Structure 1
Amino acid sequence: MTRIVRRLLLGFALLFLLPLGLHALWHWQRGWPASWTAADWSSTGSLPEASAEAPALVRIYAARTGRWRGIFAVHSWIVVKTAGGAYERYDKLGWGRPIRVNAYAPDARWYGNDPEPVFAADGEAAARLIPAIKAAVAAYGYQRLGDYRLWPGPNSNTFVASVLAAVPAIDAALPPTAIGKDFPADGRWFGLTPTGLGLRLSLAGYLGVTIGWIEGLEINVLGAVAGLDIRRPALKLPGWGRIGM
């Protein structure tokens, strides 16, 4: 029994504590803005200008969050645009109205960190997704003031993961650093993954295991995720996220 406990502790140290410690050192050496007001929240200019001729578009983004929290996590959000229409950005935030619309530019930096696309669809493919996405945003269950908890959820990543679960045609998974994505917003501790192509066990977001074709293998300990990407071979390490092809 003692040998098993030692091996579990060694595995925890190697898979969780060591990567987090190294990423904390790397993140600290890079530095971060001294305050919210000192950070860069401007557009990256990566999205085309909305115009009457522009086709429909859907994007899901994730960017490192601010200050020390960036050691562990990213913030994710959703952007949609109907054909010929304007951009609409949806975030769940910890201040003000929980679900914010167009609080920032659709492709804006988050605390000075450039966003990375998690999912992209354009044209007719995007047009088919937008009604379901908007319905999922409207139906999200944590929309009242106070319905935000930084850890383990429900937070910004719980919101986006819930929309993904409600729109299975979006065959994408949030990065392993999206802490809060495994919080069971539907109250079910066991069920299908958001893509519907795997299974997930989550004990209120504190502990869990996910196995899926899109999600790969993920072990969640206190929100930190370690695992393997099976479809596109890669490691998933706490703090660092996905490392591979």
Structure 2
Amino acid sequence: MKKYLGILVTALLLSACSNDDWRTASREPAGIAPNPKEVSEAVIEFYAADAFSWRGWFAVHSWVATKEKGASEYTVYEVTGWRVKRGLPALYEYKTSTPDRYWFGSKPEKVLSITGIKAEALIPKITSAVARYPWANEYTVFPGPNSNTFPTWVGLQVPELGLDMPFSAIGSGYADNDE
């Protein structure tokens, strides 16, 4: 019996490590964000998707997207470690019409979605919080700061969001370490 258990564990580990290369993993839109060309109202979305490869068994990667009223694109804010390794800030901001792209093969889920007048009122507060993020140039997988520390910190700065991060948002507790 031990032999079969060992084979099963080995097969599971090998299958987790044989995922597609990150360069070929899906980055397609998940189709869960309001289309900015069809929805004129303001939108706030927080997303989380399983981390790449075996890390997804334990943790998620999370990010924030906002769309001003009447805007044709979202502004996405996220933190990634590979940017720091390249001498760039961990915090990255970009414009896109598809803020709900797969996270290297993993379909995102909405952690929070706010639309309309409430979103309109909260977007300037989010933008201000992003500008004050204390670890914009840092990334540490554990205990943080990392991709989950960032949205959690924004949620702490803008409590009206009512953000409740998933349990697997490892590093979200680091946000309480605001300097």
TM-score (norm 2): 0.82
| CA deviation map 1:142-195 (0-9, x unaligned) | 122xx11111100010011100000000112100000000113315xxxxxxxx
Secondary structure of residue in 2 paired with 1:62: strand
Secondary structure of residue in 2 paired with 1:88: strand
1:63 paired to 2:73: no
Map of 1:92-171 to 2, 5 A cutoff? Answer: 92-96=79-83, 97-102=89-94, 105-144=98-137, 147-171=138-162
- Structure 2 vs 1, CA of residues 63 and 53 (structure 1 numbering), >3 Å: closer, same or farther? closer
Structure 1 unaligned residues grouped into runs of 5+: 1-24, 188-245
Q: Which amino acid aligns with 1:139?
A: R
Structure 2 unaligned residues grouped into runs of 5+: 1-10, 84-88
Aligned CA-pair RMSD? 2.2
Equivalent residue number for residue 193 of structure 1: none
Q: Which amino acid aligns with 2:43?
A: L
Quick check: 1:33–1:111 contact (8 Å CA) kept in 2?
no
Spell out structure 1 runs of 4+ moving beyond 4 A: 25-32
Equivalent residue number for residue 190 of structure 1: none
Equivalent residue number for residue 74 of structure 1: 60
1:37 paired to 2:30: no
Rounded to whole Å, the distance in 2 between the matches of 1:100 and 1:143 is: 9
CA apart distance, 1:95 = 2.1
CA apart distance, 1:32 = 6.0
Rounded to whole Å, the distance in 1 between the matches of 2:129 and 2:140 is: 20
Equivalent residue number for residue 3 of structure 2: none
Rounded to whole Å, the distance in 1 between the matches of 2:13 and 2:118 is: 37
Q: Higher strand proportion, which one?
A: 1
Rounded to whole Å, the distance in 1 between the matches of 2:13 and 2:68 is: 38
- Structure 2 vs 1, CA of residues 28 and 121 (structure 1 numbering), >3 Å: closer, same or farther? farther
Aligned length: 161
Rounded to whole Å, the distance in 2 between the matches of 1:174 and 1:101 is: 21
Equivalent residue number for residue 76 of structure 2: 89
- Structure 2 vs 1, CA of residues 28 and 164 (structure 1 numbering), >3 Å: closer, same or farther? farther
Quick check: 2:74–2:95 contact (8 Å CA) kept in 1?
no
Q: Higher helix proportion, which one?
A: 2
